[in-house]
Structure 1
Amino acid sequence: MRRPQSRGAAKQTRLREADEIRLLEAWIDAGKPDRGTRPPPLSKSSSSAAAAAAPKRGGKGGASKAAGEHAEYGACTRFDELPLSRKTQDGLRKAGYTEMSEIQRAALPHALCGRDVLGAAKTGSGKTLAFVIPALEKLYRERWGPEDGVGCIVLSPNKDLAGQIFNVFQKVGKFHGFSGACIVGNRKGLDEEKAAINNMNILVCTPGRLLQHMGETANFDCSKIQILVIDEADQVLDKNFQEQVDNVVSQLPKVRQTLLFSATQTKSVKDLARVSLKDPEYISVHEEASTATPDTLEQFAMIVPLEQKLNMLWSFIKRHLNSRTLVFLSSVKQVKFVYEVFKKLRPGISLRCMHGRMKYEVQQAIVAEFKEGNSVLFSTDIFARGLDIEDVDWVVQVDCPENIALYIHRVGRTARYNKRGKALIFLCPEEERMLEKLKAAESKIPIHIKKPNTEQLQQISQNIAAVLVQYPNLQQLGKRAFITYLKSVYLQSDKEVFDLSRFSMENFAAYAASLGLPVTPKIRFIRHKKNVPKKYMGAIDVKQMKRSSKSEVIEINPQVKSNLIVDDGDDDILYPKEPKADVNMDDGLDDVLYPKESTVDANIEPEKITQPIVFVRLGSKSMKKKKLKINLHRPLGTRVKFDDEGNTIAPLASIAEEVGSGDRYELKINMQVSTLSLSTVSQRYAEMLREMREHDKEDKLEHKKILREKKLQKKLKLKRKRSEEEMDAGSEDSGSESDRDQKTAASRGKKRYFDSDDEGEDAAKDGGVLAKQEALALKLLSKMHS
């Protein structure tokens, strides 16, 4: 912890910083490069020569040299040759940054001049430092302090990349006095951030989190920011973040510096206008390069059938146990399923998984563990952008990326900073169109075809099925993985590559079996009006597609064989479908539709069908939400049976006896059944009622008798207890006779109940007691007279 400076020392520090800032501004103005210029390419030999010839400045910084001369810095190769403050130079030296990369050589001179920059470079080329250094220098030259509020905002598409950027700010800005925060996460930490965000100078955040504070945090002000940075700009400016970014930019000042960086940069005028870029410097250091990926990256593609992907992945992991491998899958459910199953099978190397539904702290811990040693990390595309992990040996793409840009970002996790790396992608035969796009000249991706070695391919489908039997919860997860994969293919916009119609039901069944599933899960496909293929449009009456408030009827030609089905949305075309309730659909996240079977009999030829099939949709709400009302007063029908000739059969013919033969039947009906009349039934019910009443009287008398006996037994017990008390009282001495008299009087005062049979016995007992009392009184009187 630094000791507080005295007043005089603090004044000297401020004066020294003011002098340094004046020298830096003069140096920047005098040596700034012309617009549109780029530094010449630097070979390895010239780079080493320039490094040897560079002067050793120690801790003085570049500003000291600018006191007497203003050197050109547009083509320099080292950080200490740039017009940077002493604190920034110390932070770079402490972090081990000395030589600049190509994107840093090209972008930093323009960014330090205050110009807007649109930078594009290969993955792993050091783009983060290209905007961290200008941000720190901008605030330093503006003498920014805690009381000035937010001066720099860095937008990142995900929280993992935001945390990595914030770590670079901490390293390089270690000797600056700026306050900063990484604003990511959910509602859990929002209250703590609200209390401190107004005192922050640098904010590294995601667009949604920043917009949350703009709408909820009191007195949060971004009207004075000096510099806005957007990392992975092609994704942040994409339609997924479009509304959030537009709302954020609308609350920022127009006069500011803006820096945009990405590996696959956008040149769209519309996108650039949204973030208010003014005459930006477009810097693409690898635009004229022969490849769009790092030169040290070896790339391979392998044609693998859908049902063999897990077998191939398992075989690959078993052959590369001493490597650090990153595996990309298309959905969260697939990542969870493959990780859990492979963990149970134990391939001999540590396994980890990471996806966007994990907490930020858990993701950071998994990344730290993955950096430690050889392991396999299964991940979604959350790991595809920006994250910097050293020494990743292999990047394996089990599922095809949605476009060329995502492929470049995925393979960019290896071969970083001129290190070597390898990448492998599995493509189904139905996805070979992606291989053609990767090999196209405009893609600049040198990829090689590699044939799978079927002899070394290990079949693990039976082992996975055994695991699913032992762990039933994994079976449900396997169903979800199956459905989410098909959904990810169906939802892709590039139908040249992703077209489920190329897959047959045999492919789906084989893929489900490769996942260890005993039964192929049901699937459904949503087909909206705008996505209906042309071959089906002849079967649809377009005039009837208009929605009305009443029921909607659409006629479909049954001769057209179609797997299209209907959803309950407003923009759907009605087709025969099955009920929605299904055990596979446990939530709404992977709610993929199922392929429906045709309702037309396969044995009927299309030429014989003349009438169209009519389907009716009642309203736009889901039918399963409506409660059906049953009319209790509806008319009841009667069942009528017919014989072979079409004549009606009597209702009691089923219990009749056949008499005779031939075409005529004589029915002999049981006379007991036919002569049963209503009067006979009434008599029977009256007799049963009389018998029940007689039995009821007998039961009541028996019950009264039992109660009387219980009451008598209780009284006898009470009498015996009283007689025993009186006998005990007579044996006591005369000193307690008064007490006995009081107890006797009290007992006489109590209410007593007697039956008529016991009145004489009780009266005799009372008379004996009175005689004893009179004898006792005479005895006492005689003693008193004597």
Structure 2
Amino acid sequence: MPPPVRLPEKKGDRPAHTKSAAKKLKRKRNAEEFQLLETRVQEFDGKGVTAFSELPLTKQTLAGLHKAHFKTLTDIQRKAIPLALKGRDVLGAAKTGSGKTLAFLVPVLEILYRKKWTTMDGLGALIISPTRELATQIFDVLRKIGREHTFSAGLVIGGKKLKDEQEALHRMNIVVCTPGRMLQHMDQTVGLTLDNVQMLVLDEADRILDMGFRTTLDAIIENLPKERQSLLFSATQTKSVSELARLGLKDPEYIAVHEAAASATPTGLDQFYMITPLPEKLNTLFAFLRNHLQLKIVVFMSSCKQVRFVYETFRQLHIGIPLLHLHGKQKQSARIDITAKFSAAKQSCLFSTDVVARGLDFPAVDWVIQLDAPEDADTYIHRVGRTARFEKTGKALLFLCPSEEKFTDRLTSKKVPINKVGQKNSKKQSIQNQLQGLLFKDPELKYLGQKAFVSYCRSISVQKDREVFKLEDLPLDEYAASIGLLGAPRIKGLKSVDAAKMKEIKNAPRGLRALEGASNDEGEGEARNRKESRTKYDRMVERKNINVLTDHYANLVQDDRAEPDDEGDFLTVKRSGYDPDIPGPAETPSRTFKIPGKEIIIDSKRKEKMLKSKKELVKLKPKGTKLIFDDEGEAHQIYELQDEDKFREAGPAEIQRRKFLDEEGQRVKEADIGDRQLAKEKRKEKRRIQKLRAAEEEAGMEGSDEDEVRVELVPYGDAAYDQLGQDGDVEEESQPKRQKKWFEDDEGMERAKRKAQKARGRVIEAAEAPEDLADLETLASGLIG
């Protein structure tokens, strides 16, 4: 009996003890790997390392860094990562563009991996950024270097659907967020808990700890566990004990890699400032952009309304460089698209607020222009950090009003080297008249200009540094005219000499004001009496139709399609010298519409509506004049009056009239002779073609036994033109109708007609008209032959 054959075991047929042994072996191997990694981290001192491969990192992190092309360590990364890997709290300060993002992302991945974090453990690391754009950039870098790990990460920022984020937030291990959105989830997302958070990261920490985010950040920190690791990174770090105590930091390590450097800004950055009067700022900016069309530029302004106004006006002035604008009141989808477009562009100009001043990495930015001075030196450092990143070169230009020149002292104290420059006279250019024209044509643009003026004044009035920013020292009337406004807005709350004087007059006793009024001349007294004697019925009679061209529109009104205004009643706009009760010269420009050669007074809505129609405007415009050009190319009217002196020198009028008639008569005769000769040649050519055609027909009839249907060829030339109709079809030759001779009767005429038809082509004769289908078939068979 042969021995039994043993079949090979399948993978699923292995004994249970074999599977458990493999799992135990794997767990043991992982435990040894974790223990070895922990030992390497604790023994690592970080001295002399220059590459990521020399750090005690996991294989997954090293693979992600290699695929993202991160190899060499920067100064902040070389000093911060070893301390963060050991679980220490870190305060990192370094210049803009020095690689602070990797300095906290690498420790986040490593610490969660060493703690064997899984999806079931919930949220383990919270990364907070002050702006949406910076949070998106951090999340993109996290996805690149963490692709080999199994952590789940999410981006939680405003502008997206809250419900979608709520469903995924419970499964996230790492969250990159903005403070406001995270606090909203803590209030509205059911079941969200932050009790197990291991790491808190604040990017641009000085901005998050500022007054704008104070209450929001305090509410978030109250929900975080006390035992956690905190990492704070920024270009300008805070050292305030009270601020650090709010965050609950324990013996933090302060790392300032560039604190001993000669400059607080990158070494490859050339910085300049220019003393520019406030009314000349837009002119100077326009001239600068016209002379730098092939570069990539970022222009910073102080408010969203200014960004929108400058973008809309400069876009219509056709500078010659692609323009983009970015501010905090745009939709999130638009902000993402604009950021992507500017990053991919080679030549472009981005008008922006401080929303992009921190952390954003735009590649190859050549110039950073600060149209409005920043609030402090730290904001200046963050703004100019958009260029000269990662040891590259760049340039920065700061516009300062004459009253703001002391701001350079603030920069010097922060170790910011900056040089003063001036504008060349040959490059100066004024766009004031063009802006006035744009605002006159577009009421919405005029409204936006008023709001831009208001927001600029508001931003100056709320500045902390009162020695530099003085609203009362600025020429606001000239500034309003420079941006295209017809009148200077009156600012409520401006503490100037005029405002103080008006307040003193208002608070004076009535008797004293009456005595001062009596001291004036008689004419002013009569005018005042007339004004005081006006009643509400007088004002009602003088009331006008309200439209965009009346004086009513000089006041600041709310546009239905405009964004909601949260500025309150801090500022109000009113036309300078405008009084709705006293008609004045200010009414004329807003009540008339000028077209070439005519001025139309708009006194009703019907006329206003009529002027919006292009057809009606064409009717009102004068008709054009026909011109002729001489041999030298100069334009003349068809009939021009001769100079009176030259006319008299030529002789008496009667003699000149006869001479003119003789010349014109001779010209007409010569033209008549030419026309007759041309007509004669045409007739001759026509007869020649007819003879040629008849000869061809005769030859064809003799050479063939059977009659064939003849295709006539259309002659080329003048004869062909005579035979073509209006639609281009060949017509029969118009033969003159032959008159009956005196000796012919009707039968002779019919025979001649049939003979002529036979000469032109084949003719089928029928004895009588066809009456039924059989007669038609007979006639058709005769035609076919």
Do the structures match in fold with TM over 0.5? yes
Q: 1:374 to 1:16 in 2, by over 3 A?
A: farther
Q: Which residue of 2 aligns with 1:309?
A: 281
Q: Which residue of 2 aligns with 1:185?
A: 158
Instruction: Say yes or no: does 1:249 pair with 2:262.
Output: no
Q: Which amino acid aligns with 2:77?
A: Q
Identity percentage over the alignment?
47
Q: Which residue of 2 aligns with 1:418?
A: 391
Q: Which residue of 2 aligns with 1:473?
A: 444
Q: Partners of 1:10 and 1:390 in 2: how far apart?
A: 48
Instruction: Say yes or no: does 1:22 pair with 2:54.
Output: no
SS in 1 for 2:61: helix
Q: Which residue of 2 aligns with 1:260?
A: 232
Q: Provide, for residues 303-335 of structure 1, a one-character-per-residue CA deviation record: whole Å limited to 9, x for no partner.
A: 011111011001100111110000001111110
1:452 alignment partner, one of 417, 423, 443? 423
Q: Which amino acid aligns with 2:430?
A: Q
Q: Which amino acid aligns with 2:493?
A: F
Question: 1:344 Cα deviation (Å)?
Answer: 0.4
SS in 2 for 1:325: strand
Question: 1:113 Cα deviation (Å)?
Answer: 0.7
Q: Which residue of 1 aligns with 2:705?
A: none
Q: Which amino acid aligns with 1:364?
A: I
Q: Which amino acid aligns with 1:74?
A: K
Q: Which amino acid aligns with 2:363?
A: E
Question: 1:144 Cα deviation (Å)?
Answer: 0.2
Q: Which residue of 2 aligns with 1:593?
A: 571
Question: 1:81 Cα deviation (Å)?
Answer: 0.4
Q: Which residue of 1 aligns with 2:611?
A: none
Question: 1:267 Cα deviation (Å)?
Answer: 0.2
Question: 1:464 Cα deviation (Å)?
Answer: 1.5
Q: 1:12 to 1:525 in 2, by over 3 A?
A: farther
Question: 1:557 Cα deviation (Å)?
Answer: 13
Q: Provide, for residues 419-463 of structure 1, a one-character-per-residue CA deviation record: whole Å limited to 9, x for no partner.
A: 00000011011111112322x2x3111101001112211111111
Contact 2:179–2:216 under 8 Å retained in 1: yes
Q: Provide, for residues 502-529 of structure 1, a one-character-per-residue CA deviation record: whole Å limited to 9, x for no partner.
A: 12xxx222211211112222221267xx
Instruction: Say yes or no: does 1:229 pair with 2:197.
Output: no
Contact 1:525–1:595 under 8 Å retained in 2: no
Unaligned runs of 5+ in 1: 1-5, 34-72, 541-552, 561-579, 599-786
What does residue range 745-784 of structure 1 map to in structure 2 within 5 Å?
none
SS in 2 for 1:302: strand
Q: Which residue of 2 aligns with 1:508?
A: 476
Instruction: Say yes or no: does 1:76 pair with 2:45.
Output: no
Q: Which residue of 1 aligns with 2:490?
A: 522
Question: 1:482 Cα deviation (Å)?
Answer: 1.2
Q: Partners of 1:454 and 1:315 in 2: how far apart?
A: 11
Q: Which amino acid aligns with 1:22?
A: Q
1:136 alignment partner, one of 99, 109, 117? 109
Question: 1:18 Cα deviation (Å)?
Answer: 3.0
Contact 1:523–1:593 under 8 Å retained in 2: yes
Unaligned runs of 5+ in 2: 1-13, 514-551, 559-563, 577-785
Q: Which amino acid aligns with 1:345?
A: L
Q: Partners of 2:40 and 2:203 in 1: how far apart?
A: 28
What does residue range 201-600 of structure 1 map to in structure 2 within 5 Å?
201-372=173-344, 373-438=346-411, 440=412, 442-503=413-474, 507-525=475-493, 583-584=555-556, 586=558, 588-590=565-567, 591-593=569-571
Question: 1:360 Cα deviation (Å)?
Answer: 1.7
**Post-superposition, which runs of at least 4 consecutive aligned residues in structure 1 deviate over 4 A?**
6-16, 553-560, 594-598
Q: Which residue of 1 aligns with 2:699?
A: none
Paired positions, count: 511
Q: Partners of 1:143 and 1:288 in 2: how far apart?
A: 40
Question: 1:474 Cα deviation (Å)?
Answer: 0.7
Q: Partners of 1:559 and 1:29 in 2: how far apart?
A: 85
Question: 1:593 Cα deviation (Å)?
Answer: 2.9
Q: Partners of 2:177 and 2:255 in 1: how far apart?
A: 25
Q: Partners of 2:192 and 2:459 in 1: how far apart?
A: 40
Contact 1:461–1:516 under 8 Å retained in 2: yes
Q: 1:12 to 1:456 in 2, by over 3 A?
A: farther
Q: Which amino acid aligns with 2:36?
A: L
SS in 2 for 1:144: coil
Q: Partners of 2:152 and 2:511 in 1: how far apart?
A: 70
Contact 1:521–1:584 under 8 Å retained in 2: no
Q: Which residue of 2 aligns with 1:679?
A: none
Q: Partners of 2:198 and 2:119 in 1: how far apart?
A: 14
Q: Partners of 1:559 and 1:252 in 2: how far apart?
A: 66
Q: Which amino acid aligns with 1:399?
A: D
Question: 1:596 Cα deviation (Å)?
Answer: 10
Contact 2:376–2:410 under 8 Å retained in 1: no
Q: 1:472 to 1:98 in 2, by over 3 A?
A: same
SS in 2 for 1:464: helix
Q: Provide, for residues 75-104 of structure 1, a one-character-per-residue CA deviation record: whole Å limited to 9, x for no partner.
A: 311100000000000000000001000100
Q: 1:196 to 1:10 in 2, by over 3 A?
A: farther
Please give the TM-score of this superposition, normalised by the length of structure 2: 0.62
Q: Partners of 1:84 and 1:128 in 2: how far apart?
A: 17
Q: Which amino acid aligns with 2:154?
A: A
Please give the TM-score of this superposition, normalised by the length of structure 1: 0.62
Q: Partners of 1:350 and 1:275 in 2: how far apart?
A: 44
Q: Partners of 1:129 and 1:323 in 2: how far apart?
A: 29
Q: Which residue of 2 aligns with 1:39?
A: none
SS in 2 for 1:241: helix
Instruction: Say yes or no: does 1:126 pair with 2:99.
Output: yes
Q: Which amino acid aligns with 1:524?
A: K
Q: Partners of 1:536 and 1:500 in 2: how far apart?
A: 15
Q: Partners of 1:313 and 1:223 in 2: how far apart?
A: 52
Q: 1:216 to 1:597 in 2, by over 3 A?
A: closer
Q: Provide, for residues 323-366 of structure 1, a one-character-per-residue CA deviation record: whole Å limited to 9, x for no partner.
A: 00000011111100100111001111100000001122211111
Q: Which residue of 2 aligns with 1:104?
A: 77
SS in 1 for 2:294: coil
Contact 2:388–2:395 under 8 Å retained in 1: yes
Q: Which amino acid aligns with 1:379?
A: S
Contact 2:221–2:247 under 8 Å retained in 1: yes
Question: 1:483 Cα deviation (Å)?
Answer: 1.4
Instruction: Say yes or no: does 1:172 pair with 2:145.
Output: yes
Q: Which amino acid aligns with 1:180?
A: A
SS in 2 for 1:215: helix
